[in-house]
Structures are given as structure tokens and as C-alpha cells.
Amino acid sequence: MDEAHDLQKAPTMRQRLSLLFLLFMFVACNQVSLTTQTHSSRFNSKQEKIEFLQKYLRIPSTYTELEYDINYQDNSTGLVPGPSDWDIKLKATIPKADLQHWIKGCTMIAPPKIDWPTLPFQVSDYEWYAKTGVLLGVKADKNEIIYQNTSMPS
């Protein structure tokens, strides 16, 4: 009777490691990935555009007009998580009071040499600002912004 009781005691180290591995796999494989390549034209309404954008950009603002391209590679899921990569480009008309949220922490720069075929605009029509990873064009008289937030080297 004692031998049978001993066999039902604590799990072996191998059993513990197997259970830990299965638990890790379950958690790693059930995380929702934010990976996307999305242009705002895919959505039918401005509200749908805003709801999707808020998953990737956390600047408090409301939008009168909004167009964007989001390229996001979510590397936080899987067996070996790592830093994610992104390139978010946005063209929007916002309330004048919201401009301060976008410009905060930026420094004025000379107009950059950029061309975004999916979000056309005239570079010289905007005042340009930048901070690490961020490029911002502001057309204050029309409350328009051109915005890029990227983790990619320029």
C-alpha cells in the first residue's frame, strides 16, 4: 500500500516542466496580435476609422477629417517576444485647441523631403516639427496636420 501511495505523491520534475511548457504555449498562442497593414479607406465611417486608430495612437484628439496608413508589426506575441515595429502616417483636420497635444515636445524644423502617395499633400503648405520618431506638419489656418510616428530608421 505504501508503494502505491508513493507513486501518487508529487509530480516528477519532467511532469512539472511539461506542464509549465504547455501553460506557456497556451498563453503565448492566445494573445491577440496588433499586426496590421491598414489604410483608413477600408472603413465606412469616421467613427470606425477613429476606433481602429486608437488601438495604435494615443493622442487625445477629435477629428473633423481623418485619413491614415498604419503598418504595425506586433512582435510582443509568440514564443520569443520582442519590440514591435511601426510606421503610422496620418492626415487629419482637428479642432484648433487640439493642436497643442500634437506639437507638445516637438521642435520646429525645415520642411522635410517626403512623399506619401496614399496621403497626398504639399510639403511647403505646412510648418514642420519633429521629435524622436515623430514628424509633424501643421497647417494652423486650416487646423490640418500631417503626422508620422515610426520606429523605422530614416
Of 146, 151, 153, the residue nearest 68 (C-alpha): 146
Distance, CA of 36 to CA of 31 (rounded, Å): 15
- Contact status, residue 103 vs residue 51, Cβ threshold 8 Å: no
3-state secondary structure 83-107: CCEEEEEEEEECCHHHHHHHHCCCE
pLDDT value of residue 7: 53
Output the pTM of the full model. Answer: 0.76
pLDDT value of residue 14: 74
DSSP code of 133? Answer: T
pLDDT at 142 over 90: yes
Strand 65-73 versus strand 85-93 pairing type: antiparallel
- Condensed to tens digits (0 to 9), the pLDDT of residues 44-84 reads 999 999 999 999 998 889 999 999 999 999 988 777 788 89
Query: Where does the pLDDT of residue 152 fall: very low under 50, low under 70, confident under 90, or very high at 90 and above?
Result: confident
15: Cβ–Cβ under 8 A, 6 or more apart, which residues? none
| CA angle (133, 39, 28) in 5-degree steps | 70
3-class DSSP state for residue 67? strand
